[in-house]
Amino acid sequence: MFASIMRKGIYVRAALPFACAAMLLTGCTTPGETDTQYIRLSDAACSFQGADNRPVTVEVHANPAEWKAEASASWVTISDVTATSLTVEVIDNDTEGTREAEITVTSGVAEAAIRIVQVAKDYVFPRYRCHPEFQYGTAMSPSGRYAGGFYWEYDDERNLNCYPVVIDVATGEWTELGPYPQTLFSLFSTSCISDYGDLVIATENDGNVMFRLDGSYEEFKTPAGFTSNPQISQVAADGTWVGWCGKDGTSYPVKWVDGVAVELPKPALNYRDEPIGDVQARGISADGRIVYGTTWDNFDFGMVYWDEAGEVHYVGEDVRYVRTVDRPDGYGGTRKYNLADGMWTTATNTNVSPNGKYIAGTFRRESMDETGQVNETNYPAFFNTETGKTVIFEELVGGGGVSATSDGLGFTVDSTFGPNSGKVVDIENGIVLGSALEWIESTYGILVPAGYITYMPDSKDRFLGAMLYTGGPVVEGINWYVGPAR
Report the CATH number at residue 43: 2.60.40.10
- The per-residue pLDDT for range 172-191, each reduced to its tens digit, is 999 999 999 988 888 889 99
Q: Is the pLDDT of residue 14 over 80?
A: no
pLDDT bucket at 338, cuts 50 / 70 / 90: very high
- 26 pLDDT above the threshold of 70: no
- 129 pLDDT more than 60: yes
The residues that bridge with 230 in the sheet, in sequence order, are none
Find, among 471, 479, 464, the residue nearest to 142 by Cα.
Answer: 464
pLDDT in tens, 146-160: 999 999 999 988 999
DSSP symbol at 298: G
Rg (the chain; Cα; Å): 26
- Do 451 and 420 touch, CB atoms closer than 8 A? yes
* 261, burial (CB in 10 Å: exposed 0-12, middle 13-18, buried 19+): buried
So what's the pLDDT on residue 324? Answer: 97
Q: Return the higher-pLDDT residue of 28 and 234.
A: 234
Q: Residues 101, 148: one domain?
A: no
**Position 390 pLDDT exceeds 50:** yes
Q: Give the confidence band of 124 by pLDDT, cuts at 50, 70, 90.
A: confident
Last residue of a domain, one of 77, 92, 118: 118
444: enclosing H helix or E strand = helix 436-444
Confidence tier at 356 by pLDDT (50, 70, 90): very high
Please compute the mean of the pLDDT values over residues 69-96 and round it to a whole number. Answer: 94
- Residue 97, pLDDT score: 82
Burial class of residue 311 (count of CB atoms within 10 Å of its CB; 0-12, 13-18, 19+): exposed
What was the pLDDT predicted at 24?
29
348 occurs within a structural domain: yes
Is 93 in the same domain as 38? yes
CA triple 472-464-342, angle to 5 deg: 95
The total of other beta-carbon atoms located within 10 Å of residue 136's CB is: 17
Domain boundary among 77, 97, 118: 118
| Whether residues 316 and 276 fall in one domain | yes
For residues 133 and 114, state if they share a domain. no
* Domain match, 231 and 360 both: yes
Task: Give the separation between CA 119 and CA 134, rounded to whole angstroms.
Answer: 33
pLDDT at 438 over 70: yes
- The predicted pLDDT at position 16 comes to 32
- Residue 63 sits in the same domain as residue 86: yes
Shared domain check, 405 and 289: yes
Same domain, 106 and 146: no
State what percent of residues in the chain have pLDDT above 90.
72
CA distance linking residue 33 with residue 225, whole number of Å? 75
380 in a structural domain: yes
**What integer pLDDT is reported at residue 207 of this predicted model?**
86
What is the separation of C-alpha 377 from the centre of its chain, rounded to a whole number of angstroms? 22
Q: How far apart are CA 413 and CA 423, in angstroms?
A: 6
In this prediction, residue 194 carries a pLDDT of: 98
User: DSSP E strands: which ranges in 222-273?
Assistant: 231-235, 241-247, 250-257, 260-263
- Verify that 32 and 102 share a domain, yes or no: yes
Instruction: Tally the domains of the chain.
Output: 2
Q: Is residue 442 part of a domain?
A: yes
* Collapsed DSSP state (helix, strand, coil) of residue 442: helix
CA distance 226 to 245: 7
Q: Are residues 41 and 111 in the same domain?
A: yes
Average pLDDT value over all residues in the chain: 89
Task: Tell whether 158 and 17 lie within a shared domain.
Answer: no
CA 393, distance to chain mean position in Å, is 18
Whether the Cβ atoms of residue 14 and residue 41 lie closer than 8 Å to each other: no
pLDDT of 1 > 50? The answer is no
Q: Looking at residue 73, what is its pLDDT?
A: 95
CA distances from 84 to 42, 59, 105 (A): 10, 6, 12
Q: What is the pLDDT of residue 5?
A: 31
Pairing of strands 110-118, 43-48: parallel
What CATH number should be reported for the domain holding residue 295? Answer: 2.130.10
pLDDT at 404: 98
Q: What distances in angstroms separate CA 164 from CA 171, 179, 233, 409, one per listed residue?
A: 18, 8, 17, 32
**pLDDT per position as a tens digit, 445-484:** 888 989 999 999 999 999 999 998 876 667 788 999 999 9
Mean pLDDT of 297-312: 91
* Contact indicator for 282, 348 with CB cutoff of 8 Å: yes
Residue 81, domain member (yes or no):
yes
Q: How large is the average pLDDT for residues 79-108?
A: 93
Percent of the chain with pLDDT over 70: 92
Could you give the CA distance from residue 338 to residue 324 in angstroms, rounded to a whole number?
Answer: 4
| Inside any domain, residue 352 | yes
Does 158 share its domain with 138?
yes
237 three-state secondary structure: coil
With 90 as the cut, is the pLDDT of residue 374 above it? Answer: yes
Full domain range(s) for residue 86: 6-118
Distance CA 396, CA 363 (A): 11
Say if 1 falls within a structural domain: no
Give the residue from 88, 118, 148 where a domain finishes.
Answer: 118
Higher pLDDT, 124 or 354: 354
Higher local confidence (pLDDT), 296 or 391: 391
